[in-house]
Amino acid sequence: MLGRLNHVAIAVPDLEAAAAIYRDTLGANVSQPQALPEHGVTVVFVELPNTKVELLEPLGDDSPIAAYLQKNPSGGMHHLCYEVDDVIAARDRLQADGMRVLGDGEPKTGAHGKPVLFLHPKDFAGTLVELEQV
């Protein structure tokens, strides 16, 4: 079911400062910030040869990232994103196995313009998992 690792997401309290570390200190190619109101975040992607790092900053007080940063003020690893061929088929298979899909269970459009779903961390060894259709 799983394809390649699409990205590792890191929640940060200051997106500009975090992007500067990757761009200026580590010499990485960093995308322009992209606001995703449906997800309550602003993101940038750090491009690597084999995957990406997504830096997430809260967009508004109701952002799930704001709640995460209250518990982890310095930021930290937020989720892993895996590619799947068919996000609906993956959802249906996982739900049939008793796994929980967050939200209303319907895919939303992610930062790459593709359908995404999030899976409950308690079902995946304490890690929030995002599935992105490729």
Residue of 54, 57, 130, 132 marked catalytic = 130
Closest to 56 in 3D by CA, of 27, 81, 28, 25: 81
Q: What residue type is 125 in one-letter code?
A: A
130 has catalytic annotation:
yes
Count of alpha carbons within 13 angstroms of residue 118, beta-carbon side: 17
Paired sense of beta strands 128-133 and 76-84, if any: parallel
Taken as a whole, the chain contains a residue count of 134
Residues involved in catalysis = 130
